[in-house]
Structure 1
Amino acid sequence: MGKDVEVGHHGEFSAKDYHDPPPSPLIDAEELTKWSFYRALIAEFIATLLFLYITVLTVIGYKSQTDPALNGDDCGGVGILGIAWSFGGMIFVLVYCTAGVSGGHINPAVTFGLFLARKLSLIRAVMYMAAQCLGAICGVGLVKAFQRAYYVKYGGGANEVAPGYSKGVGLGAEIIGTFVLVYTVFSATDPKRNARDSHVPVLAPLPIGFAVFMVHLATIPITGTGINPARSLGAAVIYNKNKAWDDQWIFWVGPFIGAAIAAFYHHYLLRANAVKAFGSTRSSPNV
Protein backbone atom coordinates (compact mmCIF):
# COMPACT_ATOMS: atom_id res chain seq x y z
CA MET A 1 0.00 0.00 0.00
CA GLY A 2 1.37 3.36 -0.95
CA LYS A 3 1.87 6.20 1.44
CA ASP A 4 -1.15 8.26 2.37
CA VAL A 5 -1.19 11.90 1.40
CA GLU A 6 -2.29 15.10 3.01
CA VAL A 7 -2.88 18.54 1.54
CA GLY A 8 -0.28 21.13 2.49
CA HIS A 9 0.05 24.84 1.77
CA HIS A 10 -0.74 25.97 -1.80
CA GLY A 11 -2.45 22.66 -2.53
CA GLU A 12 0.66 20.47 -2.61
CA PHE A 13 0.49 16.85 -1.42
CA SER A 14 3.09 15.49 1.00
CA ALA A 15 3.79 11.88 1.90
CA LYS A 16 2.84 10.75 5.36
CA ASP A 17 5.15 8.65 7.50
CA TYR A 18 2.54 6.03 8.39
CA HIS A 19 0.21 3.54 6.73
CA ASP A 20 -3.45 2.98 7.49
CA PRO A 21 -4.37 -0.70 7.54
CA PRO A 22 -6.70 -1.73 4.71
CA PRO A 23 -10.43 -1.82 5.55
CA SER A 24 -11.67 -5.13 6.85
CA PRO A 25 -14.01 -7.04 4.53
CA LEU A 26 -17.68 -6.81 5.43
CA ILE A 27 -18.01 -10.59 5.48
CA ASP A 28 -14.92 -12.68 6.18
CA ALA A 29 -16.01 -16.30 6.51
CA GLU A 30 -12.37 -17.41 6.60
CA GLU A 31 -12.15 -16.06 10.16
CA LEU A 32 -14.36 -18.91 11.33
CA THR A 33 -11.60 -21.39 10.46
CA LYS A 34 -8.90 -19.68 12.52
CA TRP A 35 -8.04 -20.46 16.14
CA SER A 36 -7.01 -16.82 16.67
CA PHE A 37 -10.63 -15.81 16.09
CA TYR A 38 -11.96 -18.12 18.81
CA ARG A 39 -9.11 -17.16 21.12
CA ALA A 40 -10.20 -13.53 20.71
CA LEU A 41 -13.81 -14.47 21.57
CA ILE A 42 -12.63 -16.23 24.73
CA ALA A 43 -10.58 -13.17 25.67
CA GLU A 44 -13.60 -10.86 25.23
CA PHE A 45 -15.83 -13.21 27.23
CA ILE A 46 -13.41 -13.52 30.17
CA ALA A 47 -12.52 -9.81 30.17
CA THR A 48 -16.18 -8.74 30.27
CA LEU A 49 -16.93 -11.32 32.96
CA LEU A 50 -14.12 -9.96 35.15
CA PHE A 51 -15.14 -6.38 34.42
CA LEU A 52 -18.71 -6.93 35.62
CA TYR A 53 -17.65 -9.06 38.57
CA ILE A 54 -15.33 -6.44 40.05
CA THR A 55 -17.36 -3.34 39.24
CA VAL A 56 -20.80 -4.60 40.30
CA LEU A 57 -19.31 -5.98 43.51
CA THR A 58 -17.88 -2.51 44.14
CA VAL A 59 -21.30 -0.89 43.60
CA ILE A 60 -23.08 -3.31 45.94
CA GLY A 61 -20.31 -3.07 48.53
CA TYR A 62 -20.57 0.72 48.51
CA LYS A 63 -24.33 0.63 49.02
CA SER A 64 -24.04 -1.85 51.90
CA GLN A 65 -21.35 0.31 53.53
CA THR A 66 -23.60 3.37 53.40
CA ASP A 67 -26.73 1.61 54.71
CA PRO A 68 -27.51 3.08 58.17
CA ALA A 69 -29.41 -0.09 59.07
CA LEU A 70 -26.15 -2.04 58.86
CA ASN A 71 -23.59 0.52 60.00
CA GLY A 72 -25.51 2.84 62.31
CA ASP A 73 -24.44 5.88 60.27
CA ASP A 74 -23.40 6.86 56.81
CA CYS A 75 -19.72 5.89 56.80
CA GLY A 76 -19.26 6.91 53.16
CA GLY A 77 -17.57 3.79 51.81
CA VAL A 78 -15.70 4.15 48.56
CA GLY A 79 -18.18 6.76 47.30
CA ILE A 80 -18.95 7.67 43.71
CA LEU A 81 -15.28 8.45 43.20
CA GLY A 82 -14.34 4.91 44.19
CA ILE A 83 -16.99 3.40 41.92
CA ALA A 84 -15.72 5.48 39.00
CA TRP A 85 -12.15 4.34 39.75
CA SER A 86 -13.35 0.74 39.81
CA PHE A 87 -14.85 0.98 36.33
CA GLY A 88 -12.02 3.02 34.84
CA GLY A 89 -9.31 0.99 36.54
CA MET A 90 -10.71 -2.34 35.39
CA ILE A 91 -10.98 -1.11 31.81
CA PHE A 92 -7.35 0.02 31.97
CA VAL A 93 -6.23 -3.36 33.31
CA LEU A 94 -8.34 -5.47 30.96
CA VAL A 95 -7.60 -3.48 27.81
CA TYR A 96 -3.91 -3.77 28.63
CA CYS A 97 -4.25 -7.55 29.09
CA THR A 98 -6.39 -8.32 26.04
CA ALA A 99 -5.42 -5.72 23.44
CA GLY A 100 -2.90 -8.05 21.82
CA VAL A 101 -5.41 -10.92 21.60
CA SER A 102 -8.79 -9.41 20.73
CA GLY A 103 -8.18 -5.67 20.60
CA GLY A 104 -9.56 -5.26 24.12
CA HIS A 105 -13.05 -4.03 23.20
CA ILE A 106 -14.99 -5.32 26.27
CA ASN A 107 -17.94 -3.24 25.08
CA PRO A 108 -20.41 -3.73 22.20
CA ALA A 109 -20.47 0.02 21.59
CA VAL A 110 -16.69 0.05 21.03
CA THR A 111 -17.02 -2.96 18.75
CA PHE A 112 -19.83 -1.25 16.83
CA GLY A 113 -17.82 1.94 16.37
CA LEU A 114 -14.79 0.03 15.11
CA PHE A 115 -17.02 -1.96 12.77
CA LEU A 116 -18.43 1.25 11.26
CA ALA A 117 -14.85 2.39 10.70
CA ARG A 118 -14.14 -0.91 8.90
CA LYS A 119 -11.67 -2.03 11.54
CA LEU A 120 -13.27 -5.47 11.80
CA SER A 121 -15.69 -7.64 9.83
CA LEU A 122 -19.39 -8.04 10.48
CA ILE A 123 -18.88 -11.65 11.60
CA ARG A 124 -16.25 -10.66 14.15
CA ALA A 125 -18.33 -7.71 15.37
CA VAL A 126 -21.45 -9.82 15.96
CA MET A 127 -19.51 -12.62 17.65
CA TYR A 128 -17.61 -10.15 19.85
CA MET A 129 -20.89 -8.61 21.01
CA ALA A 130 -22.34 -12.04 21.79
CA ALA A 131 -19.23 -13.01 23.79
CA GLN A 132 -19.29 -9.70 25.67
CA CYS A 133 -22.98 -10.01 26.60
CA LEU A 134 -22.56 -13.61 27.72
CA GLY A 135 -19.50 -12.70 29.76
CA ALA A 136 -21.38 -9.82 31.40
CA ILE A 137 -24.28 -12.08 32.38
CA CYS A 138 -21.90 -14.65 33.87
CA GLY A 139 -19.94 -11.95 35.72
CA VAL A 140 -23.05 -10.52 37.38
CA GLY A 141 -24.21 -14.07 38.09
CA LEU A 142 -21.03 -14.59 40.12
CA VAL A 143 -21.72 -11.38 42.02
CA LYS A 144 -25.20 -12.60 42.96
CA ALA A 145 -23.78 -15.97 44.03
CA PHE A 146 -21.23 -14.31 46.33
CA GLN A 147 -23.44 -11.47 47.63
CA ARG A 148 -26.87 -13.10 47.61
CA ALA A 149 -27.89 -11.40 50.87
CA TYR A 150 -27.27 -7.91 49.47
CA TYR A 151 -27.63 -8.33 45.71
CA VAL A 152 -31.35 -7.64 45.24
CA LYS A 153 -31.58 -5.32 48.25
CA TYR A 154 -29.04 -2.93 46.74
CA GLY A 155 -30.26 -2.97 43.15
CA GLY A 156 -27.98 -5.58 41.60
CA GLY A 157 -25.81 -2.94 39.97
CA ALA A 158 -28.50 -2.48 37.32
CA ASN A 159 -28.58 0.69 35.22
CA GLU A 160 -31.73 2.78 35.56
CA VAL A 161 -32.56 6.41 34.91
CA ALA A 162 -32.48 8.07 38.34
CA PRO A 163 -35.60 9.69 39.80
CA GLY A 164 -35.87 13.32 38.76
CA TYR A 165 -34.38 12.75 35.31
CA SER A 166 -36.34 12.12 32.13
CA LYS A 167 -35.60 9.29 29.73
CA GLY A 168 -34.48 11.91 27.22
CA VAL A 169 -31.86 13.22 29.63
CA GLY A 170 -30.71 9.68 30.33
CA LEU A 171 -30.44 8.95 26.60
CA GLY A 172 -28.46 12.13 26.02
CA ALA A 173 -26.06 11.30 28.85
CA GLU A 174 -25.45 7.85 27.37
CA ILE A 175 -24.85 9.26 23.88
CA ILE A 176 -22.35 11.87 25.03
CA GLY A 177 -20.62 9.53 27.49
CA THR A 178 -20.15 6.83 24.87
CA PHE A 179 -18.94 9.40 22.36
CA VAL A 180 -16.19 10.40 24.79
CA LEU A 181 -15.17 6.77 25.29
CA VAL A 182 -15.19 5.66 21.65
CA TYR A 183 -13.53 8.86 20.45
CA THR A 184 -10.77 8.18 22.97
CA VAL A 185 -10.42 4.61 21.69
CA PHE A 186 -9.98 5.84 18.12
CA SER A 187 -7.50 8.52 19.15
CA ALA A 188 -5.44 6.23 21.40
CA THR A 189 -5.14 3.53 18.72
CA ASP A 190 -4.67 5.82 15.71
CA PRO A 191 -1.93 4.36 13.44
CA LYS A 192 -0.83 7.90 12.62
CA ARG A 193 0.03 8.47 16.26
CA ASN A 194 1.53 5.00 16.68
CA ALA A 195 3.93 5.60 13.81
CA ARG A 196 5.34 8.80 15.28
CA ASP A 197 5.23 7.88 18.95
CA SER A 198 6.26 4.27 19.48
CA HIS A 199 5.18 4.33 23.14
CA VAL A 200 1.54 5.06 22.27
CA PRO A 201 0.41 1.42 21.82
CA VAL A 202 1.71 0.63 25.30
CA LEU A 203 -0.03 3.64 26.85
CA ALA A 204 -3.34 3.32 24.92
CA PRO A 205 -5.19 1.57 27.79
CA LEU A 206 -4.46 4.52 30.09
CA PRO A 207 -6.50 7.24 28.31
CA ILE A 208 -9.25 4.71 27.59
CA GLY A 209 -9.48 3.85 31.29
CA PHE A 210 -9.44 7.53 32.21
CA ALA A 211 -12.24 8.23 29.75
CA VAL A 212 -14.39 5.59 31.46
CA PHE A 213 -13.47 7.05 34.86
CA MET A 214 -14.38 10.62 33.91
CA VAL A 215 -17.67 9.66 32.24
CA HIS A 216 -18.69 7.71 35.35
CA LEU A 217 -18.03 10.73 37.54
CA ALA A 218 -20.38 12.79 35.37
CA THR A 219 -23.21 10.34 34.74
CA ILE A 220 -23.47 7.99 37.73
CA PRO A 221 -26.08 10.33 39.29
CA ILE A 222 -28.14 10.26 36.07
CA THR A 223 -28.14 6.68 34.78
CA GLY A 224 -25.63 4.85 36.95
CA THR A 225 -23.50 5.10 33.79
CA GLY A 226 -23.98 2.48 31.14
CA ILE A 227 -21.92 3.43 28.02
CA ASN A 228 -21.57 -0.33 27.62
CA PRO A 229 -24.66 -2.33 26.48
CA ALA A 230 -23.18 -5.61 27.71
CA ARG A 231 -22.69 -4.17 31.21
CA SER A 232 -26.31 -2.95 31.29
CA LEU A 233 -27.73 -6.17 29.84
CA GLY A 234 -25.80 -8.45 32.18
CA ALA A 235 -27.02 -6.57 35.24
CA ALA A 236 -30.61 -6.45 33.97
CA VAL A 237 -30.74 -10.17 33.18
CA ILE A 238 -29.59 -11.24 36.64
CA TYR A 239 -31.45 -8.50 38.58
CA ASN A 240 -34.57 -8.98 36.41
CA LYS A 241 -36.75 -6.17 37.74
CA ASN A 242 -39.22 -4.11 35.72
CA LYS A 243 -37.47 -0.74 36.02
CA ALA A 244 -34.17 -2.14 34.73
CA TRP A 245 -35.95 -3.64 31.71
CA ASP A 246 -38.09 -0.53 31.10
CA ASP A 247 -34.96 1.61 30.75
CA GLN A 248 -32.85 -1.02 28.98
CA TRP A 249 -33.36 0.45 25.49
CA ILE A 250 -31.63 3.64 26.62
CA PHE A 251 -28.45 1.69 27.36
CA TRP A 252 -28.37 0.23 23.85
CA VAL A 253 -29.65 3.06 21.68
CA GLY A 254 -27.59 5.73 23.46
CA PRO A 255 -24.22 3.94 23.32
CA PHE A 256 -24.71 2.84 19.70
CA ILE A 257 -25.58 6.39 18.61
CA GLY A 258 -22.62 7.79 20.55
CA ALA A 259 -20.28 5.21 19.04
CA ALA A 260 -21.53 5.94 15.51
CA ILE A 261 -20.99 9.68 15.94
CA ALA A 262 -17.49 9.10 17.33
CA ALA A 263 -16.60 6.77 14.44
CA PHE A 264 -17.78 9.27 11.85
CA TYR A 265 -16.16 12.23 13.60
CA HIS A 266 -12.73 10.67 14.02
CA HIS A 267 -12.53 8.36 11.02
CA TYR A 268 -14.17 10.50 8.36
CA LEU A 269 -13.74 14.09 9.55
CA LEU A 270 -10.48 14.28 11.49
CA ARG A 271 -8.56 11.71 9.47
CA ALA A 272 -7.62 11.45 5.81
CA ASN A 273 -10.15 8.63 5.44
CA ALA A 274 -12.68 11.29 4.48
CA VAL A 275 -10.76 11.81 1.25
CA LYS A 276 -10.82 8.07 0.55
CA ALA A 277 -14.49 7.80 1.39
CA PHE A 278 -15.79 10.76 -0.60
CA GLY A 279 -13.22 10.98 -3.39
CA SER A 280 -9.85 12.70 -3.58
CA THR A 281 -9.99 16.43 -4.15
CA ARG A 282 -7.32 19.07 -4.31
CA SER A 283 -7.65 22.15 -2.17
CA SER A 284 -7.85 25.38 -4.04
CA PRO A 285 -5.03 27.77 -3.10
CA ASN A 286 -7.57 30.61 -3.31
CA VAL A 287 -9.87 29.16 -0.62
Structure 2
Amino acid sequence: MPEIVNIRGLQKKFGKFQALNDVTFTVNAGEVVGFIGPNGAGKSTTIRILLGIIKRDAGIAEIFGKDVWKESLEIHKRISYVPGDVTLWGSLTGGEIIDLFLKLHGRGNQQKRDYLIKRFELDPKKKAKGYSKGNRQKTGLIAALAADSDLYIFDEPTSGLDPLMESIFQEEVEKLKAAGKSILLSSHILSEVERLADRVAIIRQGEIVESGSLEELRHLTRSNVTLATEGDVAVMAALNGVYDFEQKDNQATFSVDHNQLNVILREASKLGVKKFESVPPTLEDLFMRHYEG
Protein backbone atom coordinates (compact mmCIF):
# COMPACT_ATOMS: atom_id res chain seq x y z
CA MET A 1 0.00 0.00 0.00
CA PRO A 2 1.30 3.51 -0.78
CA GLU A 3 2.46 5.60 2.18
CA ILE A 4 0.24 8.62 2.81
CA VAL A 5 2.20 9.83 5.85
CA ASN A 6 5.93 9.18 6.13
CA ILE A 7 7.79 10.18 9.30
CA ARG A 8 11.43 9.14 9.68
CA GLY A 9 13.84 10.13 12.44
CA LEU A 10 11.75 13.16 13.42
CA GLN A 11 13.40 15.43 15.99
CA LYS A 12 12.23 18.59 17.75
CA LYS A 13 13.66 20.61 20.63
CA PHE A 14 12.14 23.48 22.57
CA GLY A 15 15.15 25.11 24.16
CA LYS A 16 16.98 22.33 25.98
CA PHE A 17 13.89 20.12 26.12
CA GLN A 18 13.92 17.25 23.61
CA ALA A 19 10.23 17.01 22.67
CA LEU A 20 10.72 14.44 19.88
CA ASN A 21 13.62 12.05 19.45
CA ASP A 22 13.88 9.89 16.32
CA VAL A 23 10.10 9.45 15.88
CA THR A 24 9.38 7.08 12.99
CA PHE A 25 6.08 5.68 11.71
CA THR A 26 3.88 5.66 8.62
CA VAL A 27 0.20 5.83 7.68
CA ASN A 28 -0.68 3.84 4.57
CA ALA A 29 -3.55 4.34 2.17
CA GLY A 30 -6.88 3.12 3.53
CA GLU A 31 -5.76 2.43 7.10
CA VAL A 32 -6.31 3.86 10.57
CA VAL A 33 -3.20 4.37 12.69
CA GLY A 34 -3.72 4.97 16.40
CA PHE A 35 -1.16 7.36 17.90
CA ILE A 36 -1.25 7.00 21.67
CA GLY A 37 0.59 8.27 24.71
CA PRO A 38 -0.10 10.44 27.77
CA ASN A 39 -0.13 14.24 27.82
CA GLY A 40 3.33 15.60 27.13
CA ALA A 41 4.55 12.49 25.31
CA GLY A 42 4.88 14.31 21.96
CA LYS A 43 1.66 13.46 20.10
CA SER A 44 0.48 17.02 19.47
CA THR A 45 4.00 18.22 18.63
CA THR A 46 4.24 15.51 15.97
CA ILE A 47 0.84 16.48 14.56
CA ARG A 48 1.71 20.20 14.50
CA ILE A 49 4.81 19.38 12.51
CA LEU A 50 2.71 17.34 10.07
CA LEU A 51 0.34 20.30 9.68
CA GLY A 52 3.22 22.68 8.94
CA ILE A 53 2.50 24.75 12.06
CA ILE A 54 5.95 24.26 13.57
CA LYS A 55 9.22 23.35 11.88
CA ARG A 56 11.09 20.16 12.67
CA ASP A 57 14.75 20.23 13.66
CA ALA A 58 15.71 17.04 11.82
CA GLY A 59 14.26 14.02 10.06
CA ILE A 60 11.72 13.45 7.29
CA ALA A 61 8.05 14.43 7.50
CA GLU A 62 6.00 13.95 4.34
CA ILE A 63 2.31 13.71 3.43
CA PHE A 64 1.36 12.52 -0.09
CA GLY A 65 5.12 12.46 -0.82
CA LYS A 66 5.36 16.23 -0.19
CA ASP A 67 7.41 17.98 2.48
CA VAL A 68 5.05 19.12 5.24
CA TRP A 69 6.86 22.44 5.77
CA LYS A 70 7.68 23.46 2.20
CA GLU A 71 4.47 22.23 0.53
CA SER A 72 1.90 22.65 3.31
CA LEU A 73 -0.55 24.62 1.16
CA GLU A 74 -0.83 21.80 -1.38
CA ILE A 75 -1.11 19.21 1.38
CA HIS A 76 -3.89 21.09 3.19
CA LYS A 77 -6.13 20.88 0.12
CA ARG A 78 -6.42 17.13 0.72
CA ILE A 79 -6.59 16.79 4.52
CA SER A 80 -9.07 17.37 7.34
CA TYR A 81 -7.94 18.10 10.90
CA VAL A 82 -9.71 18.26 14.26
CA PRO A 83 -7.81 19.31 17.41
CA GLY A 84 -8.71 18.27 20.96
CA ASP A 85 -10.08 21.72 21.82
CA VAL A 86 -11.83 23.40 18.90
CA THR A 87 -11.87 27.23 19.00
CA LEU A 88 -14.67 28.94 17.09
CA TRP A 89 -15.78 32.46 16.16
CA GLY A 90 -18.30 33.30 18.89
CA SER A 91 -20.39 35.71 16.80
CA LEU A 92 -21.08 33.12 14.07
CA THR A 93 -23.55 30.26 14.29
CA GLY A 94 -22.39 26.65 14.18
CA GLY A 95 -23.86 26.24 10.70
CA GLU A 96 -22.09 29.35 9.40
CA ILE A 97 -18.76 28.12 10.79
CA ILE A 98 -19.17 24.68 9.19
CA ASP A 99 -20.02 26.32 5.84
CA LEU A 100 -16.96 28.58 6.13
CA PHE A 101 -14.66 25.65 6.83
CA LEU A 102 -16.09 23.69 3.90
CA LYS A 103 -15.73 26.68 1.57
CA LEU A 104 -12.11 27.16 2.63
CA HIS A 105 -11.43 23.48 2.08
CA GLY A 106 -13.05 23.48 -1.34
CA ARG A 107 -14.27 19.88 -1.33
CA GLY A 108 -17.26 20.07 1.00
CA ASN A 109 -20.35 17.89 0.66
CA GLN A 110 -23.53 19.80 1.56
CA GLN A 111 -25.67 16.66 1.76
CA LYS A 112 -23.21 15.01 4.12
CA ARG A 113 -23.02 18.23 6.16
CA ASP A 114 -26.78 18.16 6.76
CA TYR A 115 -26.69 14.44 7.56
CA LEU A 116 -23.90 14.87 10.11
CA ILE A 117 -25.61 17.82 11.81
CA LYS A 118 -28.59 15.56 12.47
CA ARG A 119 -26.42 12.59 13.53
CA PHE A 120 -24.44 14.65 16.03
CA GLU A 121 -27.59 16.49 17.20
CA LEU A 122 -26.05 19.95 16.75
CA ASP A 123 -28.15 23.12 16.67
CA PRO A 124 -26.60 24.91 13.65
CA LYS A 125 -28.56 28.14 14.26
CA LYS A 126 -27.11 28.79 17.71
CA LYS A 127 -24.16 31.18 18.02
CA ALA A 128 -20.90 29.47 18.86
CA LYS A 129 -20.32 31.64 21.95
CA GLY A 130 -23.22 29.76 23.55
CA TYR A 131 -21.80 26.31 22.72
CA SER A 132 -20.50 23.88 25.31
CA LYS A 133 -17.10 22.24 24.74
CA GLY A 134 -18.92 19.17 23.38
CA ASN A 135 -20.81 21.24 20.82
CA ARG A 136 -17.64 23.06 19.75
CA GLN A 137 -16.07 19.65 19.22
CA LYS A 138 -19.09 18.48 17.21
CA THR A 139 -18.78 21.56 14.96
CA GLY A 140 -15.16 20.73 14.16
CA LEU A 141 -15.94 17.07 13.56
CA ILE A 142 -18.87 17.80 11.24
CA ALA A 143 -16.77 20.23 9.19
CA ALA A 144 -13.91 17.72 8.92
CA LEU A 145 -16.07 14.69 8.14
CA ALA A 146 -18.20 16.56 5.58
CA ALA A 147 -15.09 17.42 3.55
CA ASP A 148 -13.91 14.92 0.95
CA SER A 149 -10.31 14.51 2.11
CA ASP A 150 -7.71 11.83 1.49
CA LEU A 151 -6.23 12.05 5.00
CA TYR A 152 -8.03 12.80 8.26
CA ILE A 153 -5.97 13.82 11.30
CA PHE A 154 -7.78 13.63 14.63
CA ASP A 155 -6.02 14.83 17.81
CA GLU A 156 -8.18 13.77 20.80
CA PRO A 157 -11.30 14.34 18.62
CA THR A 158 -13.94 13.09 21.09
CA SER A 159 -12.77 15.23 24.01
CA GLY A 160 -15.93 16.59 25.67
CA LEU A 161 -18.34 14.25 23.86
CA ASP A 162 -20.68 11.88 25.67
CA PRO A 163 -20.42 8.10 25.01
CA LEU A 164 -23.25 8.14 22.44
CA MET A 165 -21.53 10.84 20.37
CA GLU A 166 -18.19 8.98 20.72
CA SER A 167 -19.87 5.92 19.23
CA ILE A 168 -21.28 7.96 16.32
CA PHE A 169 -17.82 9.38 15.62
CA GLN A 170 -16.38 5.86 15.57
CA GLU A 171 -19.04 4.71 13.12
CA GLU A 172 -18.23 7.63 10.81
CA VAL A 173 -14.51 6.83 10.94
CA GLU A 174 -15.29 3.22 9.99
CA LYS A 175 -17.18 4.55 6.95
CA LEU A 176 -14.17 6.65 5.94
CA LYS A 177 -11.92 3.62 6.25
CA ALA A 178 -14.33 1.54 4.12
CA ALA A 179 -14.13 4.29 1.49
CA GLY A 180 -10.34 3.92 1.33
CA LYS A 181 -9.47 7.05 3.30
CA SER A 182 -6.46 7.27 5.64
CA ILE A 183 -6.77 8.32 9.28
CA LEU A 184 -4.24 9.30 11.93
CA LEU A 185 -6.06 9.07 15.27
CA SER A 186 -4.47 10.40 18.43
CA SER A 187 -6.64 9.49 21.39
CA HIS A 188 -6.46 8.79 25.12
CA ILE A 189 -9.55 6.56 24.83
CA LEU A 190 -7.81 3.24 24.30
CA SER A 191 -11.03 1.33 23.58
CA GLU A 192 -11.67 3.78 20.73
CA VAL A 193 -8.24 3.14 19.23
CA GLU A 194 -8.60 -0.60 19.73
CA ARG A 195 -11.90 -0.60 17.85
CA LEU A 196 -10.72 1.53 14.93
CA ALA A 197 -6.97 1.15 14.43
CA ASP A 198 -5.25 -1.23 12.02
CA ARG A 199 -1.91 -0.32 13.57
CA VAL A 200 -0.82 1.61 16.65
CA ALA A 201 2.25 3.65 17.56
CA ILE A 202 2.90 4.17 21.27
CA ILE A 203 4.96 7.26 22.12
CA ARG A 204 6.69 7.84 25.44
CA GLN A 205 8.80 10.88 26.33
CA GLY A 206 9.16 11.82 22.67
CA GLU A 207 10.14 8.36 21.43
CA ILE A 208 8.16 5.58 19.72
CA VAL A 209 8.44 2.66 22.13
CA GLU A 210 6.18 0.22 20.24
CA SER A 211 4.48 0.11 16.86
CA GLY A 212 2.68 -2.44 14.72
CA SER A 213 -0.71 -4.10 14.38
CA LEU A 214 -2.51 -5.11 17.56
CA GLU A 215 -1.91 -8.76 16.73
CA GLU A 216 1.81 -8.13 16.29
CA LEU A 217 2.02 -6.26 19.59
CA ARG A 218 0.02 -8.89 21.43
CA HIS A 219 2.64 -11.47 20.54
CA LEU A 220 5.08 -9.41 22.60
CA THR A 221 3.17 -9.82 25.83
CA ARG A 222 1.20 -12.42 27.78
CA SER A 223 -2.31 -13.80 27.57
CA ASN A 224 -4.56 -14.05 30.61
CA VAL A 225 -5.70 -17.62 31.30
CA THR A 226 -8.53 -19.00 33.43
CA LEU A 227 -8.22 -22.75 34.05
CA ALA A 228 -10.40 -25.19 36.01
CA THR A 229 -9.37 -28.85 36.28
CA GLU A 230 -10.44 -32.10 37.91
CA GLY A 231 -6.94 -32.67 39.30
CA ASP A 232 -4.94 -30.29 41.48
CA VAL A 233 -4.51 -27.12 39.39
CA ALA A 234 -1.76 -25.89 41.74
CA VAL A 235 0.89 -27.82 39.78
CA MET A 236 0.50 -25.33 36.93
CA ALA A 237 2.11 -22.59 39.04
CA ALA A 238 5.53 -24.26 38.73
CA LEU A 239 5.58 -24.28 34.90
CA ASN A 240 7.89 -21.99 32.96
CA GLY A 241 6.19 -18.92 31.49
CA VAL A 242 3.42 -18.78 34.14
CA TYR A 243 3.06 -15.54 36.13
CA ASP A 244 0.71 -13.99 38.70
CA PHE A 245 -0.80 -17.37 39.60
CA GLU A 246 -3.93 -17.20 41.80
CA GLN A 247 -6.03 -20.20 42.85
CA LYS A 248 -9.47 -20.64 44.33
CA ASP A 249 -10.58 -24.23 44.88
CA ASN A 250 -9.58 -25.99 41.65
CA GLN A 251 -9.74 -22.95 39.41
CA ALA A 252 -6.77 -20.69 38.72
CA THR A 253 -6.09 -17.46 36.88
CA PHE A 254 -2.64 -16.55 35.61
CA SER A 255 -0.78 -14.90 32.76
CA VAL A 256 1.35 -16.90 30.37
CA ASP A 257 3.95 -16.21 27.69
CA HIS A 258 2.59 -16.94 24.21
CA ASN A 259 5.36 -19.39 23.39
CA GLN A 260 4.36 -21.49 26.42
CA LEU A 261 0.66 -21.89 25.60
CA ASN A 262 1.12 -25.34 24.04
CA VAL A 263 2.96 -26.54 27.13
CA ILE A 264 0.20 -25.20 29.36
CA LEU A 265 -2.45 -27.00 27.29
CA ARG A 266 -0.57 -30.30 27.38
CA GLU A 267 -0.08 -30.17 31.14
CA ALA A 268 -3.68 -29.04 31.74
CA SER A 269 -5.03 -31.97 29.69
CA LYS A 270 -3.32 -34.38 32.10
CA LEU A 271 -5.37 -32.87 34.93
CA GLY A 272 -8.74 -33.15 33.15
CA VAL A 273 -9.78 -29.75 31.85
CA LYS A 274 -13.19 -28.47 32.95
CA LYS A 275 -12.70 -24.89 31.80
CA PHE A 276 -10.01 -23.14 29.76
CA GLU A 277 -10.16 -19.50 28.67
CA SER A 278 -7.30 -17.57 27.09
CA VAL A 279 -7.75 -13.84 26.51
CA PRO A 280 -5.19 -11.76 24.58
CA PRO A 281 -4.01 -8.53 26.23
CA THR A 282 -6.01 -5.39 25.52
CA LEU A 283 -4.47 -2.25 24.10
CA GLU A 284 -4.66 -0.85 27.63
CA ASP A 285 -2.48 -3.75 28.85
CA LEU A 286 0.05 -3.01 26.12
CA PHE A 287 -0.04 0.69 26.90
CA MET A 288 0.40 0.25 30.64
CA ARG A 289 3.33 -2.06 30.02
CA HIS A 290 5.27 1.01 28.94
CA TYR A 291 3.98 3.41 31.57
CA GLU A 292 3.85 1.43 34.81
CA GLY A 293 6.11 3.11 37.33
TM-score range, shorter chain: under 0.3
- Identify, as 1 or 2, the structure richer in helix: 1
Q: Which of 1 and 2 has higher RCO (CA within 8 Å, sep 6+)?
A: 1
Report the TM-score when normalising by structure 2.
Answer: 0.24
Report the TM-score when normalising by structure 1.
Answer: 0.25
- Identify, as 1 or 2, the structure richer in strand: 2
